[in-house]
Amino acid sequence: MEKTFIQPSIAVLISSLIAIRSYRRKSLDFSGALSGFIVMAIHFAVGYRFGAMLLAFFFTSSKLTKVGEEKKRKVDADFKEGGQRNWIQVFFNSGIATVLSVIIGNLTGWEDKCLDSKESVLITSLIGGIIGHYSCCNGDTWSSEIGVLSNDQPRLITTFKPVRRGTNGGVTKTGLVAALAAGSVIGLTFVLVGFFTTRCSNGMTMKQLLVVPISAVAGLLGSIIDSLLGATLQFSGFCTVRNKVVGKPGPTVKKISGLSILDNNTVNLVSILLTTLLTSIACVYIF
């Protein structure tokens, strides 16, 4: 009863404070703040580790989005001041993990479980999926936000030919290293918060530290999958009027790469889904 009352209350309190703060600082618009409150409260209510991973992604990506805004404004045709996100972006970046969290909560009686397939293969796969989800989100964001500011020449991931900054599927060495680091941050968050909040039947073993390299690989993998989809199924062209890379064809747009099949949100969703699935399988196999 104590757990049933206290943790949801803490979840609502933390989520409310962060949603209000994010709205005031223009990291989220009103719809983004409201939807962010909902998904954040669910994450924290199921397990502090899940909420912490969501916050690690949200805070680091929000900070990086605001770094070098002047340079990004010149490159990004869809640039928004402060990188303000709406409810669509919130759900595309946290919807799958929220569903997995709810499933875990229902299976465990809303009691946070250790990452150990000996206890339950299903629970381990679901937890692994959430780790992969946020490693992918963080990896893709760090790769984009840091890569565009680097002096590296972007190259299209499918042909390795030089492309303009802002081209979907364009990658840099700096961006790929950033994706690895971003995934590692998610893994470290999961392990450190879990050390203080999660009880394992066999104790918190050193094997749990394997989450860090797993999440690092997931961050890199998610970024690569996103780039492959962006280079092939998402249109990129150079607009001679705006003098920027744009995501839609037009009379003043010269095609660079890709097809007009997916937009940025759906590319993110597919890459998250694939990385979530692969990380889930890896965690079952390793743990």
27 — pLDDT class (breaks 50, 70, 90): confident
Share of the chain above pLDDT 70, in %: 91
With vertex at residue 138, the alpha carbon angle to CA 136 and CA 141, rounded to the nearest 5 degrees, is: 105
Q: Which helix (H) or strand (E) holds 239?
A: strand 236-239
- Whether 144 is covered by a domain: the verdict is yes
The pLDDT value recorded for residue 151 is 87
CB contact at 8 A, 236 and 75: no
Beta-bridge partner residues of 244: 239
Task: Taking residues 52-76, report their average pLDDT.
Answer: 83
Alpha helix positions (H), the chain: 2-24, 30-46, 48-65, 69-75, 87-108, 121-147, 173-197, 211-233, 264-286
| Containing structural domain, residue 61 | 48-79+87-286
The pLDDT value recorded for residue 202 is 59
Reported as a single tens digit per residue, the pLDDT across 250-279 is 999 999 999 999 999 999 999 999 999 999
Model confidence at 74: pLDDT above 50? yes
Model confidence at 79: pLDDT above 70? no
Rounded Cα–Cα distance for residues 73 and 69 (Å): 6
The pLDDT value recorded for residue 83 is 60
Task: Taking residues 158-178, report their average pLDDT.
Answer: 94
Residue the block writes with tokens 């968050």: 189
Task: Taking residues 190-201, report their average pLDDT.
Answer: 83
Work out the number of other CB atoms within 10 angstroms of the CB of residue 105.
18
Beta-bridge partner residues of 171: 155
- Whether 52 is covered by a domain: the verdict is yes
Model confidence at 203: pLDDT above 90? no
- Whether 269 is covered by a domain: the verdict is yes
- Whether 253 is covered by a domain: the verdict is yes
Closest CA to 182 of 148, 126, 221, 225: 221
Domain count, the chain: 1
The pLDDT value recorded for residue 252 is 93
- Whether 42 is covered by a domain: the verdict is no
77 — pLDDT class (breaks 50, 70, 90): low
- Whether 96 is covered by a domain: the verdict is yes
> Which residue would you say has higher pLDDT here, 112 or 205?
112
- Whether 167 is covered by a domain: the verdict is yes
Pick from 78-82, 169-173, 177-181: least confident? 78-82
Residue 254 three-state SS: strand
- Whether 40 is covered by a domain: the verdict is no
